[in-house]
Structure 1
Amino acid sequence: MSNKIEKNDLWDDLTDSQKDEIQQEVNESNKKKKITWDDVKKELSKLK
Protein backbone atom coordinates (compact mmCIF):
# COMPACT_ATOMS: atom_id res chain seq x y z
CA MET A 1 0.00 0.00 0.00
CA SER A 2 2.73 2.49 0.95
CA ASN A 3 4.42 1.99 -2.42
CA LYS A 4 1.25 3.05 -4.20
CA ILE A 5 1.04 6.25 -2.16
CA GLU A 6 4.68 7.10 -2.85
CA LYS A 7 4.19 6.58 -6.57
CA ASN A 8 1.13 8.81 -6.52
CA ASP A 9 3.05 11.51 -4.66
CA LEU A 10 5.81 11.35 -7.27
CA TRP A 11 3.21 11.47 -10.03
CA ASP A 12 1.55 14.53 -8.47
CA ASP A 13 4.91 16.32 -8.43
CA LEU A 14 5.25 15.97 -12.20
CA THR A 15 4.20 18.70 -14.57
CA ASP A 16 1.41 18.03 -17.06
CA SER A 17 3.87 17.80 -19.94
CA GLN A 18 5.94 15.22 -18.04
CA LYS A 19 2.79 13.20 -17.37
CA ASP A 20 1.87 13.33 -21.06
CA GLU A 21 5.35 12.17 -22.01
CA ILE A 22 5.24 9.21 -19.63
CA GLN A 23 1.74 8.31 -20.78
CA GLN A 24 2.91 8.24 -24.39
CA GLU A 25 5.90 6.08 -23.51
CA VAL A 26 3.65 3.64 -21.66
CA ASN A 27 1.29 3.50 -24.63
CA GLU A 28 4.17 2.90 -27.03
CA SER A 29 5.64 0.09 -24.93
CA ASN A 30 2.19 -1.49 -24.60
CA LYS A 31 1.78 -1.47 -28.38
CA LYS A 32 5.19 -3.07 -28.78
CA LYS A 33 4.33 -5.73 -26.21
CA LYS A 34 1.11 -6.58 -28.05
CA ILE A 35 2.98 -6.87 -31.33
CA THR A 36 5.68 -9.08 -29.85
CA TRP A 37 3.06 -11.19 -28.09
CA ASP A 38 1.35 -11.75 -31.45
CA ASP A 39 4.70 -12.68 -32.93
CA VAL A 40 5.30 -15.13 -30.11
CA LYS A 41 1.91 -16.75 -30.69
CA LYS A 42 2.69 -17.08 -34.40
CA GLU A 43 6.02 -18.70 -33.61
CA LEU A 44 4.36 -21.09 -31.17
CA SER A 45 1.72 -22.11 -33.68
CA LYS A 46 4.48 -22.89 -36.20
CA LEU A 47 6.07 -25.23 -33.66
CA LYS A 48 2.87 -27.21 -33.03
Structure 2
Amino acid sequence: MTADDLQSQAEICNAKKLDARNAFDESAALFFTVLVKVLITSTLFLTTIT
Protein backbone atom coordinates (compact mmCIF):
# COMPACT_ATOMS: atom_id res chain seq x y z
CA MET A 1 0.00 0.00 0.00
CA THR A 2 1.33 3.40 -0.93
CA ALA A 3 1.09 6.60 1.04
CA ASP A 4 -1.58 7.83 -1.39
CA ASP A 5 -3.61 4.66 -0.81
CA LEU A 6 -3.40 5.15 2.94
CA GLN A 7 -4.38 8.81 2.60
CA SER A 8 -7.37 7.87 0.46
CA GLN A 9 -8.49 5.21 2.93
CA ALA A 10 -8.08 7.63 5.85
CA GLU A 11 -10.23 10.20 4.05
CA ILE A 12 -12.95 7.59 3.47
CA CYS A 13 -12.86 6.55 7.13
CA ASN A 14 -13.00 10.15 8.31
CA ALA A 15 -15.96 10.88 6.02
CA LYS A 16 -17.83 7.84 7.36
CA LYS A 17 -17.05 8.87 10.94
CA LEU A 18 -18.36 12.38 10.26
CA ASP A 19 -21.51 10.96 8.62
CA ALA A 20 -22.12 8.75 11.65
CA ARG A 21 -21.66 11.70 14.00
CA ASN A 22 -24.08 13.82 11.97
CA ALA A 23 -26.65 11.00 11.98
CA PHE A 24 -26.30 10.71 15.76
CA ASP A 25 -26.73 14.47 16.23
CA GLU A 26 -29.78 14.60 13.96
CA SER A 27 -31.31 11.60 15.72
CA ALA A 28 -30.81 13.23 19.11
CA ALA A 29 -32.37 16.47 17.87
CA LEU A 30 -35.36 14.59 16.46
CA PHE A 31 -35.84 12.65 19.71
CA PHE A 32 -35.65 15.86 21.74
CA THR A 33 -38.18 17.57 19.46
CA VAL A 34 -40.64 14.69 19.77
CA LEU A 35 -40.13 14.57 23.54
CA VAL A 36 -40.84 18.28 23.90
CA LYS A 37 -43.96 18.01 21.74
CA VAL A 38 -45.25 15.08 23.79
CA LEU A 39 -44.59 16.88 27.05
CA ILE A 40 -46.31 20.05 25.84
CA THR A 41 -49.29 18.09 24.55
CA SER A 42 -49.54 16.14 27.80
CA THR A 43 -49.29 19.31 29.87
CA LEU A 44 -51.96 21.06 27.81
CA PHE A 45 -54.23 18.03 28.06
CA LEU A 46 -53.79 17.76 31.81
CA THR A 47 -54.43 21.46 32.38
CA THR A 48 -57.65 21.36 30.35
CA ILE A 49 -59.12 18.44 32.30
CA THR A 50 -58.33 19.85 35.73
Provide TM-score, normalisation by structure 1. Answer: 0.65
Cα RMSD (Å): 0.8
Asked if 1:46 is matched to 2:33, the reply is yes
Larger Rg: 2
Displacement of 1:28 = 0.8
Unmatched tracts of structure 1, length 5 or more: 1-13
Unmatched tracts of structure 2, length 5 or more: 36-50
Asked if 1:33 is matched to 2:42, the reply is no
Asked if 1:21 is matched to 2:2, the reply is no
Displacement of 1:29 = 0.9
Name the structure, 1 or 2, with higher relative contact order (CA <8 Å, separation 6+). Answer: 1
Ranges of 4+ aligned residues in structure 1 off by more than 2 Å: none
Q: Aligned equivalents of 2:31 and 2:9: distance in 1?
A: 32
Aligned length: 35
User: How much identity, in percent, do the aligned residues show?
Assistant: 9
